[in-house]
Amino acid sequence: QVQLVESGGGLVQAGGSLRLSCAASGRTFSSETMGWFRQAPGKEREFVARITRGGGRTYYADSVKGRFTISRDLAKNTVYLQMNSLKPEDTAVYYCAATRNNGVSYAYWGQGTQVTVSS
């Protein structure tokens, strides 16, 4: 059974940092693109960052560029999202996702982890 399990969310003051982790199990994701998305209350889910298979390339939403860093540990089958200089508008549930057969769409999703940034 394939699972993506996020952790590392919590409550932090504006300007603070958090590091999210997404541990994958059930299969290896080294050949897949993995990404982070978020959904704030009353808003649609939005793209945050993605990292290609092997970790060769990273992409970010404009709203987080320069503040967030996505990385992956292939040996641990885990992807990370380092979030610095957090803002109240970063408050959301953060989801990890992975493609299947290196497709365009994300086939696997985690349950999400809450990030709350207080002003």
Q: How far apart are CA 46 and CA 107, in angstroms?
A: 16
Out of 32-36, 101-105, 114-118, least confident range: 101-105
pLDDT at 59: 97
- Average pLDDT for 46-68: 93
Q: How far apart are CA 59 and CA 99, in angstroms?
A: 15
pLDDT at 94: 98
pLDDT at 81: 98
> How remote is the C-alpha of 38 from its chain's centroid?
8
pLDDT at 56: 76
Averaged pLDDT of the chain: 95
Question: Tokens for 78?
Answer: 């885990």
Strand, coil or helix: 19: strand
Q: How far apart are CA 63 and CA 78, in angstroms?
A: 24
Residue 108 CB neighbour total at 10 angstroms: 18
Question: Tokens for 16?
Answer: 């603070």
Write out pLDDT tens, residues 69-110.
Answer: 999 998 999 999 999 999 999 999 999 999 998 788 999 999
* Among candidate residues 16, 36, 12, 25, the one with its CA nearest the CA of residue 115: 12
pLDDT at 55 over 70: no
